[in-house]
């Protein structure tokens, strides 16, 4: 409870300039209070003192619980505030795919070993690397220790980040990485393929055989570790991530949730047609799949296999998986999605959260209130549209939000 009290004192003063030093002092006390846990993880006292000395919180990070912030506090993360056409830009996909093809040749021995050892296709791990850090060309903007300590102090997932902060200290104490190289995203992920410290210890692979797992300078290690993480989360060798299909005119978009899963052959018999005349083998048709319509009844539709959801475990966003999966495909085929994206605008995060609250009130939505129009939210608003006699398109719009707000 001591840590909770310290946090409460600090939050009350965070936005007050005269009290800034008090807030930082409380933060310093909070960090110091983690020594016992760090020691239990094998962190040396000298390393703990050196790495935490002068550490300050970064209250400008998104997704913090701070006074004066909107109630949602939701971050402006691209996966959740852009329409698909903005996130999965054709020019970006084409640029990354062309560079990925060169890297496929450059790292062929390591990629062949990854395919043999893990059963994860080379284009998939390359696509993750491309999406996460632009194949290592993107410089991560934050000091990882500062990010993780701040998130542990005033973030929305304090317990998780408390553990990540301690494991980051362990990485430094163990000599895994130098502090200068421990750069991160606002969420605290590090390295070429963006691992949280706990993921480093769970999934890290020394693919280049030099006796250490280096996610910062060894491309083979980073790609091998990404493959190992996918395998540890259930990756099935020989299974595609998804199939683009043309949905029948009478499609019920409320079935586009992971829980509605049936053999691909059943979807095809229901009128879904693989694009560009693709013929699926009997083995492929026997595979279970879920329907994904990222823009409701508009735009492309996909039959997603279990491997789709494995990639989603890497980053919990449909647009992220679509980007990675499509980029991987483009490294071997130049074809864009057969059906173009249709939506021109997305509701703001706070409006989607208001929609979720309304759908919860009506008993149609039971998932998190996170302001993100994912599968469950789209299905729930489609169910509302059905009950209200509206056009069922499963796409969040201002008109639907108003109708939900007015419903009793």
pLDDT in tens, 306-354: 999 999 999 989 999 999 999 999 999 999 999 999 977 778 888 999 9
Question: Residue 230 and residue 312: Cα distance in Å, rounded?
Answer: 10
Question: 257: part of which helix (H) or strand (E)?
Answer: none
Question: Residue 254 and residue 292: Cα distance in Å, rounded?
Answer: 10
pLDDT in tens, 191-238: 999 999 999 999 999 999 999 999 999 999 999 999 999 999 999 999
Least confident of 78-82, 98-102, 142-146, 293-297: 78-82
Instruction: Yes or no: say if 197 and 164 are a contact pair by the CB < 8 Å rule.
Output: yes
Between the alpha carbon of residue 32 and those of residues 86, 149, 245, the distances in Å are 43, 11, 55
Provide the greatest CA pair distance for the chain: 70
Least confident of 153-157, 243-247, 286-290: 153-157
Position 74 pLDDT exceeds 50: no
Q: Over the chain, what is the mean pLDDT?
A: 92
- Per-residue confidence (pLDDT) for residue 66, from 0 to 100: 86
Question: Residue 393 and residue 385: Cα distance in Å, rounded?
Answer: 8
Burial class (CB in 10 A: 0-12, 13-18, 19+), 404: buried
What angle is formed at CA 308 by the lines to CA 307 and CA 312, rounded to 5 degrees?
110
Q: Who has greater pLDDT, 209 or 4? A: 209
Q: How confident is the model at residue 79 (pLDDT cuts 50, 70, 90)?
A: low
Position 15 pLDDT exceeds 70: no
Question: Residue 400 and residue 284: Cα distance in Å, rounded?
Answer: 38
CATH number of 349-406: 1.10.101.10
Domain boundaries, the chain: 2-73+141-190, 242-304, 349-406
Between the alpha carbon of residue 399 and those of residues 100, 341, 362, the distances in Å are 42, 21, 17
The two three-digit tokens of residue 258, written as one number? 């992971």
CATH architecture of 2-73+141-190: Orthogonal Bundle (1.10)
């Amino acid at each position: 409870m001591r840590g909770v009290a310290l946090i409460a004192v600090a939050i009350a003063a965070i936005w007050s300039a005269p009290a800034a030093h008090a807030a930082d002092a409380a933060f310093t006390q909070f960090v110091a209070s983690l020594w016992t846990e760090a020691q239990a993880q094998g962190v040396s006292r000298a390393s703990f003192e050196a790495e935490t000395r002068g550490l300050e919180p970064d209250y400008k990070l998104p997704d913090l619980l701070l006074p004066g912030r909107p109630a949602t506090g939701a971050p402006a993360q691209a996966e959740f505030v852009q329409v698909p056409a903005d996130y999965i830009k054709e020019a970006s996909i084409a640029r990354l795919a062309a560079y990925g093809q060169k890297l496929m040749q450059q790292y062929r021995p390591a990629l062949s070993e990854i395919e043999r050892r893990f059963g994860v296709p080379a284009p998939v791990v390359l696509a993750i690397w491309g999406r996460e850090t632009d194949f290592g060309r993107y410089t991560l903007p934050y000091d990882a220790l500062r990010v993780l300590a701040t998130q542990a102090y005033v973030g929305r997932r304090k317990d998780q980040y408390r553990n990540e902060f301690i494991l980051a200290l362990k990485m430094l104490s163990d000599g895994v990485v130098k502090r200068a190289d421990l750069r991160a995203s606002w969420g605290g992920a590090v390295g070429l393929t963006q691992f949280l410290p706990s993921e480093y210890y769970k999934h890290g692979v020394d693919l280049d055989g030099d006796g250490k797992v280096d996610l910062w300078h060894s491309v083979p290690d980073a790609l091998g570790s990404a493959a190992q993480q996918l395998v540890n989360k259930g990756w099935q060798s020989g299974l595609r991530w998804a199939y683009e299909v043309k949905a029948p005119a009478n499609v019920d978009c409320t079935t586009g949730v992971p829980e509605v899963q049936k053999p691909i052959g059943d979807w095809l018999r229901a009128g879904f047609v693989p694009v560009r005349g693709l013929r699926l083998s009997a083995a492929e048709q026997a595979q279970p799949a879920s329907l994904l319509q990222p823009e409701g009844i508009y735009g492309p539709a996909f039959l997603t296999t279990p491997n789709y959801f494995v990639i989603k475990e890497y980053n919990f966003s449909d647009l992220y998986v679509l980007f990675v999966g499509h980029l991987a495909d483009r490294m071997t085929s130049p074809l864009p999605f057969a059906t173009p994206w249709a939506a021109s605008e997305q509701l703001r995060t706070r409006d989607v959260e208001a929609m979720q609250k309304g759908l919860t009130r009506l008993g149609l939505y039971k998932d998190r209130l996170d302001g993100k129009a994912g599968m469950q939210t789209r299905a729930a608003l489609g169910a509302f549209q059905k009950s209200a006699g509206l056009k069922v398109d499963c796409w969040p719009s201002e008109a639907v939000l108003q109708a939900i707000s007015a419903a009793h």
